[in-house]
A and B are shown apart, each in its own frame.
Chain A
Amino acid sequence: MIKIDLKLFVTLSRYLPDNSEGLEITEGTTVEKLMADHGIPSELVKLIFINGKTQNSKYRLKNNDRVGLFPPVGGG
């Protein structure tokens, strides 16, 4: 098992698991699977940031990764 920090922004925050800091997951889990495992609807996620850089949902998570998921924001 590895530990990651998960942050969900704006409307996604309702899907945040209780133990989002130091969340235990299986090594090599993709972001896609992480979202499915925690009931985060992938169609609501527009940007995936891993350690401050954009990645796609096929990215395989590593120990201590900081994961941020952001919905589309377009208001003015």
Chain B
Amino acid sequence: MGTSKIEERYDRNFNTLSHEEQKILGTSKVVVIGLGGLGGSVCEMLARVGIGHLTLIDGDVFEASNLNRQLLCQENLIGFPKAQAAKNRVNAINSEVKVRYFIEYVDESNMYERIKDADVVMDCLDSIDTRFKLQKAAQKASIPIVSGAIAGVAGQVTTIFPDDKGYELIYGKKGQKQSKGVETRTGNIAYCAFFVAALQSSECLKVLLDRGDILRNKLLIAELWTNTFDIMDLV
């Protein structure tokens, strides 16, 4: 794309975002961990808004049961690695974004290495246990986490800075925690995944731009059957 086309790309961002803010996004580095219902939509939005560097991580491949809610899952991609599909999608939307992708699951052995240079980590994981491990690695690397979680048509979002207690305030102290939540019984519905991913993407921009109200030590809870949207104080 020529220069004029590239400038045109962000035309509709301006007035909401300043040119200076758009430039900051273009130099920002964001890691997305987990590329399922939340992570796939987060990639889409961060690529479109103009985050300059994305690192995309998931060890899984698409299954037919992902079609109901995962933006990047298509019938012709069953069996295809989610991380590679995410990379292809980001490249197709925005060739200016520099993408790294890893077809691997994160654990203590690789997490710090993968996130250490990031400005923000997007927690789109589906395991409570792994979320605690991610927080430990992000604390070590002094990087904020934007976390989303869903079950059925309910979801929650919070932003955790390195000095915060974070997941302990939501899931209890280590030892009380469990690997899965009630999503194992409710499943997840597409519009709720997209909705929570949108809230996470918004938090990511606010952290990068130091603008607006950030959900630090707060938990935004949404339940779509009853149109309940609450922001709860965690401390």
Contacts and interface: CB of A to CB of B under 8 A. Distances in A.
A72 B181 contact: yes
Query: Interface range on chain A: under 10, 10 to 19, 20 to 34, or 35 or more?
Result: 20 to 34
- B interface, by DSSP: helix, strand, loop or mixed? mixed
A75 B126 contact: yes
B151 A10 contact: yes
B186 A54 contact: no
Interface string B162-187: 00000001111000001111110110
A57 to B, nearest CB: 12
A44 B128 CA distance: 15
Contacts, number: 91
B182 A72 contact: yes
- A interface, by DSSP: helix, strand, loop or mixed? mixed
Interface string A32-61: 000000000000101101001110000000
Contact of B170 (A47, A52, A68, A75): A47
B223 A9 contact: yes
B231 interface: yes
Interface string A1-27: 000000101110100000000000000
B104 to A, nearest CB: 16
Given A9-B154, A74-B127, A49 B228 contact: no
A73 B149 contact: yes
B105 to A, nearest CB: 13
Nearest to B152: A10
A52 to B, nearest CB: 5
Given A11-B185, A46-B171, A76-B39, A53 B148 contact: no
B34 interface: yes
Question: When A and B form their complex, which 4 residue pairs have the shortest distance between CB atoms, in order from nearest?
Answer: A75-B183, A74-B181, A72-B181, A76-B126
Interface of B: 34, 36-39, 124-128, 131, 148-152, 154-156, 169-172, 178-183, 185-186, 188, 219, 221, 223, 225, 228, 230-235
